Amino acid sequence: MPITPLPLPAGPEVLESLPSLERALTGTAPIHPHAPDTTPQLPDGDLPADLAVAIATSGSTGTPKLSLLTAANLIASADATAERLGGHGQWLLALPPHHIAGLQVLLRSIAAGTTPVVLDPGSVTPLRGSSVAPQGSAFALVEATAGMHAERRYTSLVPTLLARLVDDPLGLEALRRFDAILVGGAATPAPLLDRARSEGVRVVTTYGMSETGGGCVYNGKPLTGVAARTGADGVLELGGPVVAHGYLGLASDAFRSEGGQRWFRTGDLGSVDGDGRVHVTGRADDLINTGGLKVAPRIVEEAVLAHVPAVTEVVVVGVPDPQWGQAVALAAVTSPGGPPPGPVPDAGVAEIRDLLRPHLEPAALPRRVHVLAELPMRGPGKPDRTAVARLLGG
């Protein structure tokens, strides 16, 4: 059966698409969710018998691909999520529904037999740097949560939106009403997690991707049925019933079957400790080779957010350098009253290096720093590292 393109608007009109999504979950009427203002071109390719959704990846490794998620994949994901969170419930949609995190809010609602609450597009503005990730005003979120009457209430957010809502008294009040708030799309800074949780917000960090039906590792622990391991090169691999059939019209050795289980090679560096907890260091492709040493940007970003005052958002990239091969470069967004957008003078860079010196190896200390009004984004909550590198001279 051919795949049917399905435009999914960002507001309450998306509820009109629930019957199509419900049919897709039967494995007999596959769909391709997409933004209403796009005209998708679907490549030819073999389809699994129970295909439900062909969903675009975020494009972190280049051109977005279409992950083929079966009905079995999505049902397994919904059931495992409900088990981990304490039961099925009602969901609030605050993310674009044509991306996997937003789509899963709708699919989990169908699995739960509940109707999701959707933020009105008239009450949202784009997240900085993104035309696709809506940010509901704090008041709109309060109104939306007031309309949720199920015993358990859930939502999914990106870290930037969580940070802004925690900073707003009305937003904080709304956040506290949820039994769980899934946060993913990008690494969530530890200071933000600590603050949100200290304020009574039940945040659940998630790790996963379109190829695994979205998040399948919650607070570092794989969901029931999901396995995690690292390859010999330190790249994380995820296995289990949530792993997609493959990509539409594209052969990839990232997917393979082993011992009756489907595995996906994520491209992310990390480790799995003795308790089965997953630790993600960052994408293998993002490693910075400076002076013959490899630096993981995520380690530097975490240190900057924890130890450099006024920095609220940060992306670290490698840029060409005649002496070091690559130099560690830092793009930062600062709180109001911070330095103006533009390159930070050498004296300021030296001060930042001094602040970070007790927490990072010498090779990881930034050699260039640039303040931006906003970070360029390539999807919900995902910074565009290629665009940042261009801005910083990469």
Per residue in 41-51, pLDDT (tens digit) is 899 999 999 99
Quote the number of domains for the chain.
2
Among 256, 279, 302, which residue terminates a domain? 279
Q: How far apart are CA 212 and CA 77, in angstroms?
A: 9
How distant, in Å, are the alpha carbons of 34, 100, 214, 260 from that of 47? 19, 19, 20, 20
By the 8 A CB rule, do 156 and 103 touch? Answer: no
Q: Give the CA diameter of the chain.
A: 63
Residues 274 and 343 in one domain: no
Check residue 233 and give its pLDDT: 92
By the 8 A CB rule, do 127 and 135 touch? Answer: yes
Name residue 346's beta-bridge partners.
Answer: none
By the 8 A CB rule, do 61 and 285 touch? Answer: yes
Residues 26 and 96 in one domain: yes
Residues 222 and 362 in one domain: no
Name residue 54's beta-bridge partners.
Answer: 68
Q: What is the tens place of the pLDDT at every residue in 219-237?
A: 999 999 999 999 999 999 9
Residue numbers of the domain that contains 336: 287-391
3-state secondary structure of 343: strand
Residues 216 and 258 in one domain: yes
Q: Which residues of 71-107 are buried (b: 16+ CB within 10 A; e: fewer)?
A: bebbbbbbbbbbebbeebbbbbbbbbbbbbbbbbbbb
Residues 37 and 77 in one domain: yes
In this structure, which amino acid lies at residue 161?
Answer: L
Among 228, 246, 279, which residue terminates a domain? 279
Residues 303 and 244 in one domain: no
- CATH number of the domain bearing residue 195: 3.40.50.12780
Joined together, the tokens standing for residue 269 give 């560096």
- CATH number of the domain bearing residue 372: 3.30.300.30
Residues 33 and 176 in one domain: yes
Residues 348 and 222 in one domain: no
Q: How far apart are CA 301 and CA 159, in angstroms?
A: 14
Joined together, the tokens standing for residue 79 give 């059931």
Check residue 39 and give its pLDDT: 86
Residues 292 and 272 in one domain: no
pLDDT below 70 — which residues of the chain? 59-63, 121-137, 185, 394
Q: How far apart are CA 224 and CA 119, in angstroms?
A: 31
Residues 171 and 299 in one domain: no
Residues 131 and 261 in one domain: yes
Residues 262 and 298 in one domain: no
Among 279, 308, 329, which residue terminates a domain? 279
pTM for the structure as a whole: 0.84
Q: How far apart are CA 266 and CA 22, in angstroms?
A: 29
